[in-house]
């Protein structure tokens, strides 16, 4: 079992069609949670030593105070549902034929299985350096149906991508188009008492699903990791999954 100190940030899920309602709330109970959707969490913890083995795990009471239910976490086996595509130098490629997406992640990161997350890869020494993909059903057809990039990004950051106890700041948000598909990409920081995580996310809608990819690093390593993390977030692409496809 992988230890909690090696996990990236809290990453909760909600039905995207509830986003307009969330914009008017402030760290309250999400109205969308009445639906029978399993709420996944990737628990963020501070790295307090030079290696993961000497990091201190979040205590049970701390997690409960954040309303976090700890799911099972395990190292992924080699029989992943991921299929390799053509990688860029220094990166490995993931293509998920079932859910219809692909992306790159830095060579050396390891895949871990976290309940509720579709994919998670992380650096075992720098636990805040990670990439996670979340996929949930939606009745929306285009990411622009949820609102402009800044509004959607602010809501996701405050309600989903960081716990209420952390101070967050949206740095930038933009829309871009890839092969006729709209994506929102945004940059933000989330400050905890003992560390700050600098993160990038990209979101889109396709195949009747809402996709979120988030990657990031400790603020003190942002300068070193920035280019790599931008490569990860820019590599995220959706493709159409046809019913009955192998």
**pLDDT (tens digit per residue) in 191-237:** 999 999 999 999 999 999 999 999 999 999 999 999 999 999 999 99
pLDDT of residue 43: 34
Q: pLDDT tens digit string along 156-192?
A: 999 999 999 999 999 999 999 999 999 999 999 999 9
Walk me through the domains of the chain, giving residue ranges and CATH numbers: 4-76+111-238 (3.40.1000.10)
Interacting residues of 6 by C-beta distance below 8 A, sequence separation 6+:
45, 52, 55, 112, 122, 124, 127
* Per-residue model confidence (pLDDT) at position 88: 84
Residues with Cβ within 8 Å of residue 232, at least 6 apart in sequence: 91, 103, 104, 105, 106, 131, 200, 213, 215
DSSP 15-36: -GGGHHHHTT-SSS--GGGGSS
Instruction: Compute the distance between CA of residue 232 and CA of residue 122 in angstroms, rounded to an integer.
Output: 12
Average pLDDT score over the chain: 75
Q: What is the DSSP string of 222-238?
A: HHHHHHHHHHHHHH-EE
What pLDDT, on a 0 to 100 scale, did the predictor assign at position 86? 58
For the chain, helix, strand, coil in percent to 5 are 25, 35, 45
- Render pLDDT for 89-112 as a digit per residue (tens, 0 to 9): 999 999 999 999 999 999 999 999
Distance separating alpha carbons of residues 225 and 215, to the nearest angstrom: 10
pLDDT of residue 242: 85
pLDDT value, residue 87: 66
In angstroms, what CA-CA distances link 38 with 7, 95, 100?
19, 24, 21
DSSP state of 72: P
pLDDT for residue 200: 98
pLDDT in tens, 121-149: 999 999 999 999 999 999 999 999 999 99
Q: What confidence score (pLDDT) does residue 115 get? A: 84
Q: What is the pLDDT of residue 114?
A: 87
Residue 30 neighbours by CB under 8 Å, 6+ apart: 14, 18, 22, 159
d(CA 193, CA 195): 6
Predicted local confidence at residue 64, as pLDDT: 32
Identify the pLDDT of residue 182.
Answer: 98
Residue 83: pLDDT band by 50, 70, 90 thresholds? very low
State the pLDDT at residue 143: 98
| CA-to-CA dists, residue 109 to 52, 87, 122, 214, angstroms | 13, 14, 5, 15
Cα–Cα distances (Å) from 5 to 27, 33, 89, 121, 213, in that order, read 25, 27, 29, 14, 21
Decide if pLDDT at 8 tops 60: no
């Amino acid at each position: 079992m992988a230890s909690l100190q090696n996990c990236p940030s809290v990453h909760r899920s909600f039905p995207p069609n509830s986003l307009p309602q969330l914009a008017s709330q402030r760290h309250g109970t999400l109205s969308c949670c009445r639906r029978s959707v399993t709420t996944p969490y990737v628990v963020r913890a501070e790295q307090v030593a030079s290696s993961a083995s000497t990091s201190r795990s979040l205590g049970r009471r701390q997690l409960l105070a954040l309303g976090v239910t700890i799911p099972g976490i395990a190292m992924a086996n080699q029989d992943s549902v991921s299929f390799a595509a053509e990688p860029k130098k220094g990166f490995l490629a993931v293509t998920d034929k079932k859910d219809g997406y692909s992306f790159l992640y830095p060579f050396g990161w390891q895949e871990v299985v976290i309940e509720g997350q579709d994919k998670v890869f992380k650096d075992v020494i720098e636990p805040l350096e990670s990439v996670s993909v979340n996929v949930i059903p939606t009745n929306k057809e285009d990411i622009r149906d949820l609102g402009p990039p800044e509004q959607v990004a602010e809501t996701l950051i405050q309600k989903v991508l960081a716990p209420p106890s952390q101070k967050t700041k949206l740095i930038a948000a933009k829309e871009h188009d890839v092969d006729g598909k709209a994506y929102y990409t945004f940059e933000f920081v989330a400050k905890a008492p003992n560390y700050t995580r600098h993160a990038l996310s990209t979101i889109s809608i396709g195949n009747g699903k809402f996709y979120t990819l988030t990657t990031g690093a400790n603020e003190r390593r942002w300068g070193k990791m920035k280019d790599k993390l931008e490569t990860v977030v820019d590599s995220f692409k959706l493709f159409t999954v046809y019913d009955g496809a192998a």
